[in-house]
Copies of this chain bind each other. A is one copy, B any other.
Amino acid sequence: MSAQRQRRQARRDERREELKQAAIEVFHEHGYHAARVSQIVKKVGVAQGTFYLYFEGKQQLFSEIISDFLEMVVTTVASWEPGAIDSREDLREELTRVGLMLTEELLRNELSTAIFFNEAMAVAPEINELIRHFYETLQAMLSDFNRILCQRGLIAPMDFTILGSMTIGMVERVILERVVYGTLKDAEPRAIVDHLIMHFLAGTIEPIGEPASAGQPVALDRTETSDNAAPTEV
């Protein structure tokens, strides 16, 4: 009895996932508004009505897809471990670890990422709230992180709300270009993460490309850099 029930539930979950995956593809290809429920069910090979046995409707499914995505991001970012960080080098390492993990996740969920950035804000107020909440959570997390870092003297004091926004923006646009539009597809994830972290840490003071020199600011005077007209674009 229970075994049969379990099997049924498993089959149900499977089909649900199939539909959701198909929806992600359709939403990605056409955008939410041009996406048709009929296209989704056709991809899976079930009848129109079946869709409504698994989801309340088109919007609710979209909402769920966005929720999944946001939760994944939050979980990844929240995995940061500030405990053992005592130096800027420690910080750099930890940020690199988290950055690479996030990058990996986003690349794994390329379509959802694209949907999130392109469509999510233009579907319905409820979803906008979801997203606003996400950004607020992210802001709060980053503020906490940065406050800790500041207390430990690892970063300078400043308005951590603004800093949080800047960090989020920096990261998300780079992700957008790399994961969604492929503009930065020549750049290795590692290089991208390095740039993000170095920029977070030192703005445009320190060069990137020679890991050896990382942590040691270049002397920013003309004589030394004059022969560096064509910087090595990583």
A: residues with CB less than 8 A from B are 31-33, 86-89, 117-119, 121-123, 128, 132, 135-136, 139, 146-147, 149-163, 165-166, 168-174, 176-177, 181, 183-184, 187, 191-192, 195-196, 198-209, 215-234
Q: How far is the CB of A184 from chain B (nearest CB, A)?
A: 6
- Contact yes or no, A161 B217, CB < 8 A: no
Q: Which residues of B contact A192 (CB under 8 A)?
A: 162
- Contact yes or no, B166 A220, CB < 8 A: no
CA distance A203 to B168 in the complex (A): 14
Interface centre among A86, A166, A172, A176 (most CB of B within 10 A): A166
Q: A159-B191, A165-B177 are in contact. Are A225 and B118 (CB under 8 A)?
A: no
CA distance A165 to B191 in the complex (A): 14
Q: Which residues of B contact A221 (CB under 8 A)?
A: 153, 234
Q: A86-B224, A87-B224, A225-B87 are in contact. Are A159 and B195 (CB under 8 A)?
A: yes
Of B139, B154, B173, B220, the contact of A156 (CB 8 Å cutoff): B220
- Contact yes or no, B163 A88, CB < 8 A: no
Q: How far is the CB of A70 from chain B (nearest CB, A)?
A: 16
CA distance A202 to B155 in the complex (A): 11
Q: Which residues of B contact A187 (CB under 8 A)?
A: 159, 161-162
- Contact yes or no, A200 B203, CB < 8 A: yes
- Contact yes or no, A157 B228, CB < 8 A: yes
- Contact yes or no, A204 B155, CB < 8 A: yes
- Contact yes or no, A122 B118, CB < 8 A: yes
- Contact yes or no, A88 B220, CB < 8 A: yes
- Contact yes or no, B157 A231, CB < 8 A: yes
Q: How far is the CB of A35 from chain B (nearest CB, A)?
A: 11
| Residue ID in chain B nearest A171 by CB atoms | B169
